[in-house]
Amino acid sequence: MLERTIMPKTGIHPTYEATHVKCACGSEFDTRSTHKGAIVVEICSACHPFFTGKQKLVDTAGRIERFRRKFAATDAKKAEIAAHEAK
């Protein structure tokens, strides 16, 4: 008998179901995934420079802005400590 069942083994695989994906650029699409519930991404094929062909800074989710704010706070604290130690 050469005939073999090539179906995935039952009971050991997560369910692979239709999932809705939402990108920070506003684009939405449906795919299939083992992920439970909707997926939120920051970049997709509709807005990534590789696909758009445009060279641009991708910061739709405001990550760079958040990073800069974080470091501004750190620098302010460092300056405060330095000023304190200088006394």
- Would you tell me which residues interact with Zn ion (CB under 5 A)? 23, 25, 27, 44, 46-47
Please report the sign of the dihedral spanned by the C-alpha atoms of residue 33, residue 17, residue 27, residue 64.
Answer: negative
* Closest distance to Zn ion from the beta carbon of 48 (Å): 7
- Angle of CA points 38, 42, 44, to nearest 5°: 85
- Residue 68's H or E segment, with its range, is helix 63-86
- In the complex, minimum distance from the CB of residue 36 to Zn ion, in angstroms, rounded to a whole number: 22
Q: How far is the CB of 73 from Zn ion (least distance, A)?
A: 29
Of residues 46 and 81, the one with the C-beta less far from Zn ion: 46
